[in-house]
Structure formats: structure tokens, C-alpha cells
């Protein structure tokens, strides 16, 4: 059985990335010129914010602490730096597409690794489905923009 400490660490990492992606979506929303892309970034921000509540509840149920947004962690900071180098709208969208794909892969790995914790697996499956919807929205927008 996976220890609660290990599960909390994985969920905290996921939370840090969700918070970092909210910042990236916001940054992209401010820099793109296409109204439909701005609207997509707003939708993605709202969707991520909705999932944070269930994620933080599970962390607390397992006895973990929720770190403030001001402590994003090294990997999350690196994400924002990499995001800031994306110059065109299509480059920004492709960056987010790659991130969503990696997130889905991470969820798949965690679901398999934590199979003995039904509640956490249920949460991870819901988060994976949410990320799949993000990916589909991003792919649809890339196609609309001719990418």
C-alpha cells in the first residue's frame, strides 16, 4: 500500500503545476491578439480553478498541507520560464498541447501506481478527464488557426 505521505507529495506536485498553468494561461491571455484564443485561456483558467478545490481537499484529508501560490516549486517556475519563450499564438498553443499530453501521461502513471487508494484514483481519473478536455480544446483551436 502506498503511504499517505507519498500520495500527498504527488498531489502537492500536481497542485503546484495547476497553479503554474493558471499563471501561464493568464500570461498567454494577456499576450495573444485573437479573441477566440483569449476566450479559450479564460475557459482553461476557470476549469483549472474548479479542479483545485477537490485536489486540495484530498491533500488535507491525507494530512498534507497546501502550499501557498507564492511557493510554486522549481519545476513549476521552470514551466513559466519556458512558456515565456513562446512567441507566436500557435507556438503558445502547441506548448500548452504538449503540457496537456504530458499531464495525461502523468495521470495514467499515477492511477496505475496508486491503484490501492480508490479515492485518490477516482480524483486522478476526474483530473485526467478534465485534462483530456483541455487537450481537445487546444487541438481544435490549433486546427482553426491553421496549425
- Tens digit of each residue's pLDDT (9 = 90 or more) over 132-143: 999 999 999 999
All three cell numbers of 100? 496537456
What is the Cα–Cα distance from 87 to 127, expressed in whole angstroms? 29
Which domains, and CATH codes, for the chain? 4-144 (1.20.1260.10)
74 pLDDT tier (thresholds 50, 70, 90)? low
**Minimal CA–CA distance to 44: which of 110, 95, 109?**
95
Q: Taking the model in full, what pTM does it have?
A: 0.91
Percent over 90 (pLDDT), the chain: 84
Helix (H, G, I), strand (E, B) or coil at 34: coil
Residue 71 reports pLDDT greater than 60: no
Local structure of 50: helix, strand or coil: helix
* Mean local confidence (pLDDT), 95-100: 97
Determine the pLDDT at residue 147: 74
pLDDT at 72 over 90: no
Residue 122 clears pLDDT 90, i.e. is over it: yes
* Whole-number pLDDT of residue 68: 60
Mean pLDDT of the 13-41 span: 95
Is the pLDDT score of 70 beyond 60?
A: no
Cα–chain center distance at 15: 8
3-state helix, strand, coil in the chain (%, to 5): 80, 0, 20
Q: Give the whole-angstrom CA distance, residue 29 versus residue 100.
A: 17
pLDDT more than 70, % of the chain: 95
pLDDT at 11 over 70: yes
Amino acid at each position: 500500500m502506498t503511504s499517505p505521505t507519498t500520495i500527498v507529495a504527488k498531489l502537492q506536485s500536481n497542485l503546484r503545476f495547476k497553479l503554474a498553468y493558471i499563471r501561464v494561461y493568464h500570461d498567454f491571455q494577456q499576450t495573444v491578439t485573437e479573441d477566440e484564443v483569449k476566450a479559450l485561456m479564460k475557459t482553461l483558467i476557470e476549469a483549472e480553478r474548479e479542479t483545485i478545490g477537490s485536489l486540495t481537499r484530498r491533500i488535507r484529508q491525507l494530512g498534507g498541507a497546501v502550499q501557498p501560490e507564492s511557493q510554486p516549486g522549481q519545476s513549476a517556475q521552470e514551466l513559466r520560464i519556458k512558456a515565456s519563450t513562446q512567441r507566436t499564438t500557435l507556438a503558445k498553443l502547441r506548448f500548452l498541447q504538449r503540457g496537456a499530453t504530458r499531464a495525461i501521461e502523468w495521470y495514467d502513471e499515477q492511477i496505475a501506481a496508486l491503484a490501492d487508494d480508490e479515492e485518490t484514483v477516482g480524483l486522478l481519473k476526474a483530473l485526467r478527464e478534465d485534462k483530456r478536455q483541455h487537450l481537445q480544446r487546444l487541438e481544435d483551436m490549433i486546427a482553426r488557426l491553421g496549425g
